[in-house]
Chain A
Amino acid sequence: MAEVSEPAIAETSRPEEPVSEFDPKSMRKTKPGLKRLILTLSVLLSFLLGFPFLWKSVEIYRAPLPFREIDHFSAQLDSAPLLFPCHFQAILIGFNSKPSISSDDLQFAISDLTSQTPQCGACSASYTVSVSVDSDAICAVDFDSDDEAVDELLESTLGGPAGERKVYSVVVVNRDEDVRAVVGKYRHAWISGRVSEAAALSRAAEIFVKVFVNGGKEEGLIHGEFMPVGADGRIVLSFNLLNANPNDGVYDWEFQKIEETVLAPVIEALRPVANISVESQVLYHTPKFSFSYWDHKWSSYIFNTKDLPFFVNSNEWHLDTSVAAGGRSKILHFVVYVPSADEWPLLLQLPNGEVSKTNGFISPMWGGVIVWNPEDPGDTPDSKQPVRHKISYQDLQKVFEVSMGQLRQLFGLKSDNLFVGSSGTSRLLASDRGFTLWELDVLSRQHTCFNLHSCATTLGSLSRLVQSLPRMIIMDEIGKQVTCPDGLFTQAVHYSLEVAKLAQVNASLGVYDASAVASRQARSLAEDAFYHPSIMSVSYYSFEHCFAVYSPFFLPVSMHVLLAALREWRRHKQENKKYLAWKTKINKAS
């Protein structure tokens, strides 16, 4: 049957076929199927769809840092130095005639003395000046009594309650005696004597500018080596009593008592500037490194200032053993050195031939050394046990007075109490808190300046570093808001910027203490962010690494997929063309 039907079909179909030949190479009868094309395209599509997921999975997590704000902050600090508002007040007493000077004259005199380009921490150009005459309350003060009493009386009349704006005052008293000037422990000074108005004016202006604003130095700026505050705002004062040769006698001290009486007020006073803690230890067998020679004139062993750099024997003096000091705190060592009996007494000779009154010296950013000679140690006793001595309280007080002087030197202030200016010498009263109020103001201003600058440079360095390593992971702790309950480590950068702005606001309001505290906090936060242990630029997951890991798989596979899709697409077009050719042939024929 098949045989019969086939030729029949063939016969029947033959006359239906058109005359033109069917070329299977360039024509096809059926529409090309889409199955193959859709298959390959779907594989390609799934690759393309999966690509964003792959990209996200190898993405580096970088918490967003406020780069623009950081740049803005640094630029702001660079362009306009931080200036504080100051208020000056001059009070004239005892001038019979109506004084012809006014506040404008005083302002003129002050601006004469201030430099043209104000440095950071100085007074802003808009300081207020007032001159008043013969105020009754001041007249009641008896300027004949001793300076401390005068100071207290002046403070009770002039000094306002804490929180009010701080006014620096100079009282000029025209009396019949030699001119002397005294700067008190608070924020006022007085000049008494036969002084004309003009002289009084210039002297008062000098005290205002050189003493109250600049802190008793020619230039108002404290260098970085006299800012011993650590990066986390802490200082550790380490007091060490060194017995060079305990066989001659072991010296001990009652540190607790002297700490409570002498050190505690100072630490409290320096609270806005730094967070201070105190440690002490007694060491034995700690000889010094340098040599001394016997001098007949002074009948003692002499070492001079050329030996000072070699005095500290770091091999034997194990001073830096503090466990309380964190990694970024600053330690200041105060050494009281008791020489051995065969080098007794040991005195320091200055280059001018004189013997030092204090027997001490400092090294900036390290600390200070005082050589204390005990009372005649006598002959070495034959007993095997070394004799134990305790340094008496009076001796210890004297030693700690020198230590206080050294602490002031380490902070950039002078340890003596005289100010020598162009119009005369003034006496500076000493405070039992180690620093007078106006000195604390100067320190607060300078430290605020320094901290804010340091904060700005740290944040700037951090932003430059982070931007230069685009593939480094930045954790949330460094960057932005993460409401994590454990403290200040989070929000470091943002917080640091906020606190720095707070410091600037406080500075503009004249609140020195709060601005110093805030600036210290800002600096400490910026340092925390910069020194976060996760920022390690060790060939971080570089692009070459990513490329080298993923390309051996993805390159061949994707190439094949792409080529397959392309090939299928081309084939489909070809077949479509063939089919169209066939169709046109049919249409032409029919």
Chain B
Amino acid sequence: MLFKIRTLFDSMAVTPLYLYLFLFLGPSNFSNSPFAHGFPSSSSDTTMHTNNWAVLVCTSRFWFNYRHMANTLSLYRTVKRLGIPDERIILMLADDMACNARNKYPAQVFNNENHKLNLYGDNVEVDYRGYEVTVENFLRVLTGRHETAVPRSKRLLSDEGSHILLYMTGHGGDEFLKFQDSEELQSHDLADAVKQMKEKRRFKELLIMVDTCQAATLFSQLQSPGVLAIGSSMKGENSYSHHLDSDVGVSVVDRFTFYTLAFFERLNMYDNASLSSLFNSYNPSTLMSTAYYRTDLYQRRLEEVPVTNFFGSVMETIHTDAAYRAPSRKTSGRADIKTSPDKMVTDDQIKTTTNSNVLDQSSDQKQADQACPFARLMSSFKNKVQTVEEADSLVNYGLVTMIPLLLLSTLL
């Protein structure tokens, strides 16, 4: 809802006069300036690449956006085939195609008019479906700020050794991506989420693939290191669908995704084709748009990075040399167990007593700080104001007292 209002008022022409008049209201608030990027020297070079994650998002719903869901499901199938397990894939779909009343092939979703491959066939695990695909949920997945009750399968549980593939498809425009026909994801929100992910070391490297119109504008505000991004079209260009399936009645796949899949169908998980070969396989004449990618935030050279670094599975393995054999493993162990529950209780008690000590210390400290008399006065005033139930009622009182003031002045 916030976004709707924002776009509504953005479209309002704000005259300079009004701007000048209201400059005094918030000079400090105008500058949401990005603070200095004091990143510590990124230790991402030293951490080991331990796992791969994929976040696949389809931001459209309704029957005529069939191709977007087919895009996402095709990529899901590719990524699973190359080895990323379901527990490390977050799939967000509106999921209203397969069982749509207009679907001539119920429970089947195709990405090609030859209908060779049913994308909805087996083992499709959708994590966020229907109306759960919102900008807020998407940003929560990226930043990790969920309510406590959200199950693990809906969380992005990556760590500092993870490579994440983020694929988004749908309708987009200049610096935004439309979500479910009702809200938008702004490019600066995405950049902000990625920045927070980097601060919290939730990924080692991130590959963003966007298949929408004017896709390259969506990642124009990114500034975090270790991010590689490719979009299907540049600013001012549209991304087109590949072909129309006259049987199903709608277009079934987009060009960018079609050529991406064509590249991956030739691979299996033992291959090491590089990312540069993937990016160079996009031909502007067949795509009818320019696939633009930015590598300025990415340290490694694209020729050296295999595509399985993002699209496949990787498991660093270390052989176990020897068993850990302790000599005394006899019934004496049983006697030890009996005493340990008591010990555990005392440990907890010790822990809680130290906790309460800390609590008392912190409250005492706060009171000792108020040495300055002005600060004391202000704090006592603030406390008094806070004891008034709600700020709203105070405002109401103030507004009400204005009326007698007005009456007074008219009587004079």
Which residues of A approach B to under 8 Å, CB–CB? 34-35, 38-39, 41-43, 45-46, 49-50, 53-54, 56-57, 59, 148, 223-225, 260-262, 264-265, 268, 271, 305, 308-312, 314-315, 319-320, 322, 325-327, 348, 350, 356-358, 360-366, 368, 370, 397-398, 401-402, 404-406, 408-409, 414-417, 430-432, 434, 457-458, 461, 464-465, 467-471, 481, 491, 494-495, 498-499, 502, 514, 517-518, 530-533, 535-539, 541-549, 551, 555, 559
Q: Which residue of A lies closest to B404 (CB)?
A: A46
CB-based contact A314/B18 at 8 Å: no
Q: What are 5 A-B contacts defined by CB distance under 8 Å?
A: A39-B409, A363-B316, A366-B315, A406-B320, A468-B32
Interface segment out of the listed B104-112, B233-241, B321-329: B321-329
11 additional A-B pairs beyond A361-B317, A432-B329, A461-B199, beta carbons within 8 Å, are A42-B406, A46-B402, A49-B402, A223-B47, A261-B329, A308-B317, A310-B315, A361-B319, A365-B161, A401-B323, A415-B321
Q: Note all chain A residues with C-beta closer than 8 A to B80.
A: 315
Q: How far is the CA of A134 from the CA of B173 in the complex (A)?
A: 84
Q: Which residue of A lies closest to B351 (CB)?
A: A517
Interface segment out of the listed B217-225, B256-264, B332-340: B332-340
Q: Note all chain A residues with C-beta closer than 8 A to B270.
A: 310
Q: How far is the CA of A66 from the CA of B51 in the complex (A)?
A: 36
- Point out the residue from B146, B157, B333 that lies within 8 Å of A265, measured CB to CB: B333
Q: Mark B200-217, 1 if CB is under 8 A from A, else 0.
A: 110000000000000000
Q: How far is the CA of A467 from the CA of B26 in the complex (A)?
A: 16
A321 CB to nearest B CB, Å: 9
Q: Note all chain A residues with C-beta closer than 8 A to B144.
A: 531
CB-based contact B327/A430 at 8 Å: yes
Q: How far is the CA of A467 from the CA of B383 in the complex (A)?
A: 25
Q: How far is the CA of A261 from the CA of B269 in the complex (A)?
A: 42
Q: How far is the CA of A250 from the CA of B63 in the complex (A)?
A: 48
Q: Note all chain A residues with C-beta closer than 8 A to B373.
A: none
Main secondary structure of the interface of A (DSSP, over half): helix
- Point out the residue from A148, A265, A494 that lies within 8 Å of B336, measured CB to CB: A265
Q: How far is the CA of A446 from the CA of B333 in the complex (A)?
A: 29
CB-based contact A39/B410 at 8 Å: yes
Q: Mark B1-35, 1 if CB is under 8 A from A, else 0.
A: 01101101110101000100110011011101011
CB-based contact B83/A363 at 8 Å: no
- Point out the residue from A50, A320, A365, A397 that lies within 8 Å of B329, measured CB to CB: A397
CB-based contact A498/B324 at 8 Å: no
CB-based contact A268/B340 at 8 Å: yes
Which residues of B approach A to under 8 Å, CB–CB? 2-3, 5-6, 8-10, 12, 14, 18, 21-22, 25-26, 28-30, 32, 34-35, 40, 46-48, 50-51, 80, 83-88, 123, 135-136, 139-140, 143-148, 150, 152, 155, 157, 159-161, 186, 189, 192-193, 196, 199-201, 269-270, 313-329, 333-334, 336-337, 340, 344, 347, 351, 354, 358-359, 361-363, 366, 391-392, 394-395, 398-399, 402, 405-406, 408-410, 412
CB-based contact B18/A430 at 8 Å: no
Q: Note all chain B residues with C-beta closer than 8 A to A467.
A: 35
B408 CB to nearest A CB, Å: 7
CB-based contact B394/A545 at 8 Å: no
Q: How far is the CA of A465 from the CA of B145 in the complex (A)?
A: 14
Q: How far is the CA of A35 from the CA of B337 in the complex (A)?
A: 92
Q: How far is the CA of A527 from the CA of B35 in the complex (A)?
A: 22
A541 CB to nearest B CB, Å: 8
Q: Which residue of A lies closest to B26 (CB)?
A: A543
Q: Note all chain A residues with C-beta closer than 8 A to B47.
A: 223-225
**A310-B269, A366-B315, A537-B192 known; A481 vs B160 contact (CB < 8 Å):** no
Q: Note all chain B residues with C-beta closer than 8 A to A43.
A: 406, 409
- Point out the residue from B30, B200, B336, B361 that lies within 8 Å of A530, measured CB to CB: B200
Q: How far is the CA of A268 from the CA of B347 in the complex (A)?
A: 11
**A327-B148, A327-B155, A502-B354 known; A432 vs B2 contact (CB < 8 Å):** no
- Point out the residue from B9, B139, B410 that lies within 8 Å of A544, measured CB to CB: B9
CB-based contact B326/A409 at 8 Å: no
CB-based contact B152/A325 at 8 Å: yes
- Point out the residue from A309, A405, A533, A542 that lies within 8 Å of B324, measured CB to CB: A405
Q: How far is the CA of A119 from the CA of B193 in the complex (A)?
A: 33
CB-based contact B412/A545 at 8 Å: no
Q: Note all chain B residues with C-beta closer than 8 A to A224.
A: 47, 160-161
CB-based contact A57/B340 at 8 Å: no
Q: How far is the CA of A204 from the CA of B340 in the complex (A)?
A: 35
10 pairs of A and B residues whose beta carbons are closest in the complex: A314-B85, A42-B409, A548-B9, A432-B326, A401-B323, A53-B398, A543-B29, A308-B317, A416-B322, A461-B199
Q: Note all chain B residues with C-beta closer than 8 A to A402.
A: 320, 323-324
Q: Note all chain B residues with C-beta closer than 8 A to A471.
A: 29
CB-based contact A366/B50 at 8 Å: yes
Most buried by B among A264, A348, A398: A264
Q: How far is the CA of A544 from the CA of B322 in the complex (A)?
A: 64
CB-based contact B337/A260 at 8 Å: yes
CB-based contact A543/B30 at 8 Å: yes
Q: Which residue of A lies closest to B155 (CB)?
A: A327
Q: Note all chain A residues with C-beta closer than 8 A to B135.
A: 538
- Point out the residue from A309, A468, A481 that lies within 8 Å of B315, measured CB to CB: A309
Q: Which residue of A lies closest to B347 (CB)?
A: A271
Q: How far is the CA of A530 from the CA of B197 in the complex (A)?
A: 11
CB-based contact B324/A430 at 8 Å: yes
A546 CB to nearest B CB, Å: 8
Q: How far is the CA of A261 from the CA of B323 in the complex (A)?
A: 17
Q: How far is the CA of A415 from the CA of B409 in the complex (A)?
A: 89
CB-based contact A494/B329 at 8 Å: no
CB-based contact A415/B406 at 8 Å: no
CB-based contact A363/B200 at 8 Å: no
Q: Note all chain B residues with C-beta closer than 8 A to A305.
A: 317, 319
Q: Note all chain A residues with C-beta closer than 8 A to B152.
A: 320, 322, 325, 327
Most buried by B among A59, A360, A363, A398: A363
Q: How far is the CA of A469 from the CA of B33 in the complex (A)?
A: 9
Q: How far is the CA of A363 from the CA of B395 in the complex (A)?
A: 61
Q: How far is the CA of A94 from the CA of B392 in the complex (A)?
A: 85
CB-based contact A46/B406 at 8 Å: yes
Q: How far is the CA of A41 from the CA of B410 in the complex (A)?
A: 11
CB-based contact A536/B6 at 8 Å: no
CB-based contact A148/B48 at 8 Å: no
Q: Note all chain B residues with C-beta closer than 8 A to A495.
A: 358-359, 362
Q: How far is the CA of A540 from the CA of B352 in the complex (A)?
A: 39
A26 CB to nearest B CB, Å: 28
Q: Note all chain B residues with C-beta closer than 8 A to A261.
A: 329, 333-334
Q: How far is the CA of A544 from the CA of B25 in the complex (A)?
A: 12
CB-based contact B392/A536 at 8 Å: no
**A260-B337, A417-B322, A481-B366 known; A499 vs B394 contact (CB < 8 Å):** no
Q: How far is the CA of A282 from the CA of B3 in the complex (A)?
A: 49
CB-based contact B46/A223 at 8 Å: yes
Q: How far is the CA of A533 from the CA of B136 in the complex (A)?
A: 11
CB-based contact B406/A536 at 8 Å: no
Q: Which residue of A lies closest to B329 (CB)?
A: A432
B411 CB to nearest A CB, Å: 10
Q: Which residue of A lies closest to B340 (CB)?
A: A268
A456 CB to nearest B CB, Å: 11
Q: How far is the CA of A530 from the CA of B51 in the complex (A)?
A: 24
**A225-B48, A310-B83, A363-B315 known; A555 vs B333 contact (CB < 8 Å):** no
- Point out the residue from A315, A434, A551 that lies within 8 Å of B85, measured CB to CB: A315
CB-based contact A536/B139 at 8 Å: yes
Q: How far is the CA of A49 from the CA of B30 in the complex (A)?
A: 25
B182 CB to nearest A CB, Å: 14
CB-based contact A363/B398 at 8 Å: no
Q: How far is the CA of A552 from the CA of B351 in the complex (A)?
A: 58
Q: How far is the CA of A43 from the CA of B235 in the complex (A)?
A: 51
**A39-B410, A45-B405, A409-B318 known; A148 vs B327 contact (CB < 8 Å):** yes
